[in-house]
């Protein structure tokens, strides 16, 4: 990095709220709490960051970036302060007040076949649950147990961006992991099961630091590891409880090595899991 580029970066970090002390050639970090912006987020996540104050959907932008990011190039993270068309599973709207939550999409390229991708996504969800010290509702909802049920802190919508052989050299297959985590929002209209870190009594002073910890935890997952799903199993809620998935009612016994939820001996690969109160 040239001196000019470095100086430009330091000025940009300061503009985003990072307090630095310059002493000749030496730079000392004084305080970065509350700093927020593309340069701060790139530093925290150790990845290229595309930051948007508002965008329709971080997943949509991340998929466009995945489509043109060549093999071997650093993989981007897309972060938005506000999503105007945030999506959940099957078109469900994901609502978030501007600037209060974490909304981001991470581009990942694990060396796995499409059929093996779901278990990697469970492992990435578990890595995030571990950072946040919360539980997992199959397959990858970030939740906390409450009384006889649960409250949802965050969700993940993963999309596969399939390899393009038309480009030379070929662009590999990517997974775009779209994540929404409620941080300081305290009111959720029409969402009785929603919660946030603030409602859980956890004050997050620095959203950028939390984002960095989440992305770095995702990047630290070894998708080839034999014990890939152990952390998921340790963080799971609902196991041993009676659940309903579609027409199937039974006891949630655990997850198979491919990530399928075993309900009274039958593997479940898709669908919403509901707790049945007993």
Partner 1 sequence: MSLSDSLPQIAELIALMRENDVSRIDYEDEQVNVSVRFGGEVVMTQAVAPAGAAPTAVADTGGAPATEGAGNIVKSPMVGTFYRSPDPSAPPFASPGDRIEKGQVLCIIEAMKLMNEIESEVSGVIAEVLVDNGQAVQFGQPMFRIEAG
Q: How far is CA 57 from the centre of its chain?
A: 14
Tell which one of 86, 139, 154, 212 touches partner 1 (CB under 8 A). Answer: 139
* Binding region for partner 1 (CB under 8 A) out of 24-32, 134-142, 202-210, 223-231: 134-142
Identified binder of partner 1 from the candidate list 84, 162, 224, 264, rule CB under 8 A? 162
Residue 39 token pair: 């340069």
Choice from 35, 103, 106, 117 touching partner 1 (CB under 8 A): 117
Within 13 Å and on the Cβ side, how many CA atoms surround 6? 7
- Close Cβ partners of 31 (under 8 Å, ≥ 6 residues apart): 18, 19
Contact between 172 and partner 1 per CB under 8 A:
no
Answer yes or no whether residue 121 interacts with partner 1 by CB under 8 A: yes
- Contact characters 71-90, partner 1, x per CB under 8 A: ------------------xx
Asked if omega into 169 is within 30° of 0 (cis), the reply is yes
Cα–Cα nearest to 158, from 136, 176, 142: 176
Distance CA 278, CA 18 (A): 52
| # residues near partner 1 by CB under 8 A | 29
Q: What element of type H or E holds 53?
A: strand 49-55
Near partner 1 by CB under 8 A: residue from 118, 154, 180, 212? 118
Cβ proximity to partner 1, 36 vs 104, nearer residue: 104
Candidates 38-46, 113-121, 197-205, 209-217; binding stretch for partner 1 (CB under 8 A): 113-121
Phi and psi at residue 187, to the nearest 5°? -120, 130
Site residues (CB under 8 A) for partner 1? 89-91, 113-115, 117-118, 121-122, 138-140, 156-160, 162, 166, 175, 259-260, 265-267, 269-271
């Amino acid at each position: 990095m040239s001196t000019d580029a470095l100086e430009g970066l330091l000025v940009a970090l300061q503009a985003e709220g990072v307090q630095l002390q310059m002493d000749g050639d030496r730079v000392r970090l004084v305080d970065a709490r509350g700093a927020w912006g593309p340069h701060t987020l790139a530093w925290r996540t150790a990845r290229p960051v595309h930051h948007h104050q508002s965008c329709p959907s971080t997943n949509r932008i991340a998929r466009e970036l995945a489509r043109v990011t060549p093999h071997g190039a650093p993989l981007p993270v897309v972060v938005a302060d506000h999503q105007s068309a945030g999506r959940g599973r099957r078109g469900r709207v994901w609502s978030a007040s501007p600037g209060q939550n974490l909304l981001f999409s991470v581009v990942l390229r694990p060396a796995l076949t499409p059929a093996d991708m779901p278990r990697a996504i469970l492992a990435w969800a578990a890595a995030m649950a571990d950072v946040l010290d919360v539980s997992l509702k199959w397959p990858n909802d970030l939740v906390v147990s409450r009384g006889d049920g649960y409250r949802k802190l965050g969700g993940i919508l993963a999309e596969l961006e399939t390899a393009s052989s038309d480009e030379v050299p070929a662009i590999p297959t990517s997974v775009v992991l779209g994540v929404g985590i409620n941080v300081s929002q305290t009111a959720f209209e029409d969402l009785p099961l929603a919660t946030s870190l603030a409602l859980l009594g956890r004050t997050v002073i620095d959203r950028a630091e939390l984002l960095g910890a989440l992305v770095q935890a995702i990047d630290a997952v070894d998708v080839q590891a034999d014990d890939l799903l152990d952390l998921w199993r340790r963080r799971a809620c609902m196991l041993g409880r009676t659940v309903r998935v579609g027409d199937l009612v039974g006891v949630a016994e655990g997850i198979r090595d491919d990530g399928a939820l075993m309900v009274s001996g039958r593997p479940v690969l898709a669908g919403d899991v509901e707790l049945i109160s007993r």
